[in-house]
């Protein structure tokens, strides 16, 4: 079976501007060669249809009868050190890395059940009746994050270095209210100045990035690793499954309740987690230029966290 690139996904990726590597369009032209090289190098056979994420093509494959997945990622800043984190975790709480070609963003991984995530049916791209209830999901995800935290290797990109340019952009972005800019930049400066020993962070562990496994019930996938404070990791679990949070006073209560559940499971002080979540939410606002609904949700989350 040959690998087929989904056309809708290819059209979206073709619009990506370079971010430390080729543009999405240039990378797509390289894609057939990257996939073919990996299949030959690791003696893989494609066994099913391609799956896609925002920046990656994932193919179910077999190697000597063992089911695996081949992941080919558009090279960009956030993905650059995925292989490093997976290698250091070595399957403890995360999908196991079998082999990697870091220069091309090509990873060979153990196969998990893409049909079962904490968010339900992973193939549908949204929550389904199979989703794990929110309280249990928060406990599972928080427990995984706690297992993934370990001393950060010196070559890992630092959270403070990533935040710096983003925070510098905030005052010049008219879509970010001035009061938000002042609050987030001030709080970020205070948090970074404390200079806690950095741990290795996943940074993008939301409910859809926890899949069912064979050797463990649940395992993390798709890290965007950084070195920093673990409190920064809570926010994806607050902003996802947002419709379950309610509105008005119920929204504030639900956000704080999730925050407490995740922080407890992670072993992180809840006030530290809240402060870092405010900063993380402010940074998320910068990515909502063409998504007013997302911006509205981020502002609602920010208010619930900071009131």
Which DSSP letter does residue 244 get? G
DSSP output for 67-78: EEEEEEE---GG
Phi, psi of 67 (to 5 degrees): -75, 125
Question: For the chain, percent helix, then strand, then coil, each to nearest 5?
Answer: 50, 15, 35
Query: 229, 236, 227: which is closest to 281 by C-alpha?
Result: 236
For residue 192, give the H/E element and its range: helix 178-193
- How is residue 289 written in tokens? 């230029």
Phi, psi of 60 (to 5 degrees): -70, 130
Q: Residue 62: which residues within 8 A CB-CB, separation 6 or more?
A: 44, 45, 47, 68
List 204, 222, 294, 307, catalytic entry: 204
Annotated active-site residue 204? The verdict is yes
Phi, psi of 22 (to 5 degrees): -70, 155
Phi, psi of 273 (to 5 degrees): -65, -40
**Would you please indicate which residues are annotated as catalytic (active-site) residues?**
204
């Amino acid at each position: 079976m040959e690998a087929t690139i989904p056309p809708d996904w290819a059209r979206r990726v073709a619009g990506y501007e370079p971010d430390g590597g080729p543009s999405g369009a240039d990378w797509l032209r390289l894609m057939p060669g990257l996939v073919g090289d990996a299949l030959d190098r690791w003696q893989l056979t494609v066994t099913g249809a391609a799956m896609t994420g925002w920046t990656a093509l994932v193919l179910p494959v077999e190697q000597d009868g063992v089911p695996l997945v081949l992941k080919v990622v558009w090279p960009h800043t956030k993905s650059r050190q995925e292989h490093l984190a997976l290698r250091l975790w070595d399957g403890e709480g995360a999908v196991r890395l079998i082999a990697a070609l870091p220069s091309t963003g090509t990873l060979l991984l153990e196969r998990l059940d893409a049909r079962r995530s904490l968010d339900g049916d992973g193939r549908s791209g949204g929550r389904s009746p199979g989703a794990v209830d929110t309280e249990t999901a928060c406990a599972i995800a928080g427990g995984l994050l706690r297992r993934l935290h370990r001393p950060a290797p010196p070559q890992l990109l630092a959270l403070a270095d990533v935040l710096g340019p983003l925070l510098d952009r905030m005052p010049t972005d008219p879509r970010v209210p001035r009061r938000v800019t002042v609050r987030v930049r001030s709080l970020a400066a205070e948090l970074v100045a404390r200079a806690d020993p950095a741990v290795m962070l996943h940074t993008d562990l939301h409910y859809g990035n926890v899949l069912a496994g064979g050797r463990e019930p649940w395992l993390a996938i798709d890290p965007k690793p950084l070195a920093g404070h673990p409190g920064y990791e809570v926010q994806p679990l607050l902003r996802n499954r947002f419709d379950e949070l309610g509105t008005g006073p119920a929204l504030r209560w639900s956000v704080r309740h999730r925050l407490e559940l995740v922080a407890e499971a992670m072993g992180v002080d809840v006030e530290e987690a809240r402060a870092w979540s405010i900063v993380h939410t402010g940074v998320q606002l910068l990515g909502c230029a063409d998504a007013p609904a997302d911006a509205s949700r981020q502002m609602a989350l920010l208010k619930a966290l900071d009131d």
